[in-house]
């Protein structure tokens, strides 16, 4: 009896300690793991995230006015120091390591990290002023903080949204400074000599490419954050959509249509053969101009073979979905910009526009392969390999080669100073970014041996599950009074 009495009294004491404050404790579901969030954590996070936003805003404003007076540059460093302090309290016991591991596998996150490190190296090797080293260090910290927003368990959507907007404005301001402004004008990072010709690499164009790429890689995350009112999805965690996940994707050619199967079989072979020979002739044409004509001939043959593949074998709902993907829009947009560059400032007046048109056609074929109903994996794989070879060759000829050297794309005068945009560096930036934005899709083709996934159609995964399927619960719930009473009853029993 004494033991029972002690048990009952202990249960009653426990029941007295449980109040409505305990009932308001919440838990969050992240990657199928439930994390309990106590009141102390919520109070600390609530204060810290507000302080981080205020410090970010003040630091950004100081950075904007830094070109007017040197005192604002010191304020930028001071407020950045407070950002580091408040960020530490914000992230303490508020990070999901599993989500961090998941993000480190994302191509966009990897490229953003690499670009931020390259920006740091360039600023260290050739600083713009005495604050360049500190500013580049702060920028790496800011980049990683924005990427790690997905790993935070408890956060306010409004605060995260404002911080992301400030990060976007920061990149736009840096692009402005290295394009229309006079930052690092005529500053040379390094120079090299090949076959008696000296080539210069300017810091200005290097920074333009870095900030523009980081901005574009974060656009999709910003778009998700603007539309996801409940923060149910990750900003940077994505997954390729299954081809059979939607009825509009589940379209195939009838097995009884032998003529169509035969047409596709021979059209793929002719397309691969003509595309391969055309790529080889294009590379040789950089050395011997006589190979331009064979290049165009095989390109025309390849176009007809691709038309035969696309005939009654294209899914227009998928094409519409593709044209909404950020990666697709960036790749095609850069392809058309390259065409404009080839037409405005050609290095060979007759063939340059034709080469630009050919490159746009190649990109269209590559992107719209996702919309083809029936195709062989070998065909898609070879197309991806050939496109990679073309891009790498273009990058090589615009860095170690003499392609477009000294040709001016356009020039402008600002505040009495003439600024020149060279064709060589514009195209180099375009080809590098096209290679980066297509890398994830090509990697998907190599991994997906059964072609169950779309190459370019991506969707952001849910925080609760880490997949494209969400649970019925939104991942955050409160402990009710009934649940407390059930726990007390179990203890008494």
Last residue of a domain, one of 210, 231, 252: 231
Q: Is residue 18 part of a domain?
A: no
What average pLDDT does range 384-404 have in this prediction? 89
CB 153 within 8 A of CB 35: yes
CA distance 493 to 484: 14
Q: Any idea what the Cα angle at residue 222 is, between residues 216 and 223, rounded to 5°?
A: 100
Looking at the structure, do residues 152 and 132 belong to the same domain, yes or no? Answer: yes
Looking at the structure, do residues 359 and 451 belong to the same domain, yes or no? Answer: yes
Burial class (CB in 10 A: 0-12, 13-18, 19+), 193: exposed
Q: Is residue 4 part of a domain?
A: no
30-34, 73-77, 89-93, 355-359: segment of lowest average pLDDT: 30-34
Looking at the structure, do residues 34 and 64 belong to the same domain, yes or no? Answer: yes
Q: Is residue 492 part of a domain?
A: no
Q: What is the pLDDT of residue 140?
A: 93
Q: What is the pLDDT of residue 490?
A: 56
Burial class (CB in 10 A: 0-12, 13-18, 19+), 284: middle
Looking at the structure, do residues 202 and 264 belong to the same domain, yes or no? Answer: no
* More confident of the two residues 246 and 375: 375
Looking at the structure, do residues 139 and 163 belong to the same domain, yes or no? Answer: yes
475 has a pLDDT exceeding 90: no
Looking at the structure, do residues 227 and 243 belong to the same domain, yes or no? Answer: no
Looking at the structure, do residues 415 and 316 belong to the same domain, yes or no? Answer: yes
Looking at the structure, do residues 327 and 181 belong to the same domain, yes or no? Answer: no
Q: What is the pLDDT of residue 256?
A: 45
Handedness of CA 279, 281, 283, 289 (dihedral sign): negative
42 has a pLDDT exceeding 50: yes
Q: What is the pLDDT of residue 245?
A: 67
Last residue of a domain, one of 204, 231, 258: 231
Q: Is residue 469 part of a domain?
A: no
Q: What is the pLDDT of residue 187?
A: 82
Percent of the chain with pLDDT over 90: 31
CB 281 within 8 A of CB 302: no
Percent of the chain with pLDDT over 70: 88
> 85 is in which domain, residue-wise?
29-231
pLDDT tens string 62-116: 999 988 888 999 999 999 999 999 999 999 988 888 898 989 988 889 999 999 9
CA distance 31 to 157: 19
Looking at the structure, do residues 181 and 301 belong to the same domain, yes or no? Answer: no
Instruction: For residue 84, give every residue at least 6 positions away whose Cβ sits within 8 Å of its Cβ, in sequence order, or none.
Output: 141
What average pLDDT does range 361-378 have in this prediction? 90
Looking at the structure, do residues 256 and 227 belong to the same domain, yes or no? Answer: no
Q: 167-181, 234-248, 474-488 — which one is most confidently predicted on average?
A: 167-181
Looking at the structure, do residues 340 and 377 belong to the same domain, yes or no? Answer: yes
Last residue of a domain, one of 200, 231, 262: 231
Q: Is residue 468 part of a domain?
A: no
CB 279 within 8 A of CB 294: no
Q: What is the pLDDT of residue 476?
A: 46
What does the DSSP assignment read for 283-300? Answer: HHHTT-GGGHHHHHHHHH
Helix (H) or strand (E) run with residue 33 in it: strand 33-37
Q: Is residue 9 part of a domain?
A: no
Looking at the structure, do residues 65 and 162 belong to the same domain, yes or no? Answer: yes
Q: Is residue 474 part of a domain?
A: no
Q: What is the pLDDT of residue 316?
A: 87
pLDDT tens string 126-185: 888 888 889 999 999 999 999 999 999 888 899 999 999 999 999 999 999 888 887 888
CA distance 155 to 48: 10
User: What is the number of structural domains in the chain?
Assistant: 2
Question: Mean pLDDT, the chain, as a whole number?
Answer: 83
Q: Is residue 8 part of a domain?
A: no
């Amino acid at each position: 009896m004494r033991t029972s009495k002690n048990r009952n009294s202990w249960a009653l004491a426990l029941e007295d300690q449980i109040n409505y404050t305990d009932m308001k404790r919440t838990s969050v579901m992240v990657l199928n793991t439930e994390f309990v969030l106590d009141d102390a954590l919520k109070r600390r996070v609530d204060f810290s995230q507000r302080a981080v936003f205020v410090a970010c805003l003040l630091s950004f404003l100081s950075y904007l006015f830094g070109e007017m007076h040197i005192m604002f540059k010191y304020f930028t460093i001071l407020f950045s120091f407070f950002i580091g302090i408040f960020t530490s309290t914000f992230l303490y016991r508020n990070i999901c390591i599993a989500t961090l591991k998941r993000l480190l596998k994302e191509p966009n996150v990897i490229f953003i990290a690499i670009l931020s490190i390259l920006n740091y190296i360039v600023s260290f090797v050739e600083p713009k002023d005495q604050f360049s080293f500190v500013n580049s260090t702060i920028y790496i910290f800011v980049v990683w903080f924005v990427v790690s927003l997905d790993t935070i368990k408890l956060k306010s959507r409004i605060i995260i949204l404002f911080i992301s907007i400030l990060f976007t404005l920061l990149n736009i301001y840096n692009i402005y400074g290295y394009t229309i402004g006079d930052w690092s004008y005529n500053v040379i990072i390094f120079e090299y000599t090949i076959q008696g010709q000296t080539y210069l690499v300017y810091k200005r164009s290097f920074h333009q490419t870095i900030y523009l790429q980081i901005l574009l890689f974060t656009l999709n995350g910003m778009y998700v954050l603007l539309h996801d009112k409940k923060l149910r999805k990750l900003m940077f965690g994505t997954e390729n959509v299954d081809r059979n996940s939607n009825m509009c994707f589940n379209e195939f050619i009838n097995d009884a249509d032998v003529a169509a199967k035969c047409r596709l079989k021979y059209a793929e072979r002719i397309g691969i053969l003509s595309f391969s020979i055309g790529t080889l002739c294009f590379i040789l044409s950089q050395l011997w101009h006589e190979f331009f004509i064979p290049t165009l001939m095989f390109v025309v043959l390849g176009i007809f073979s691709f038309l035969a593949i696309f005939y009654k074998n294209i899914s227009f709902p998928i094409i519409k979905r593709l044209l909404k993907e950020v990666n697709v829009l960036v790749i095609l947009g850069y392809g058309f910009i390259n065409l404009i560059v080839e037409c405005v400032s050609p290095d060979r007046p007759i063939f340059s526009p034709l080469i630009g048109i050919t490159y746009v056609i190649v990109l269209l074929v590559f992107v719209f392969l996702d919309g083809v109903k029936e195709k062989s994996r070998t065909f898609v794989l070879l197309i991806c390999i050939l496109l990679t070879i073309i891009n790498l060759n273009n990058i090589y000829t615009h860095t170690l080669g003499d392609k477009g050297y000294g040709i001016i794309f356009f020039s402008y005068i600002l505040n009495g100073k003439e600024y020149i945009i060279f064709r060589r560096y514009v195209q180099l930036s375009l080809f590098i970014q096209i290679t980066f934005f297509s890398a994830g899709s090509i990697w998907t083709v190599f991994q997906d041996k059964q072609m169950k996934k779309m190459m370019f159609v991506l969707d952001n995964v849910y925080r609760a599950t880490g997949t494209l399927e969400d649970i019925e619960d939104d991942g955050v719930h409160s402990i009710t009074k009934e649940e407390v009473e059930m726990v007390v009853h179990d203890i008494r029993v």
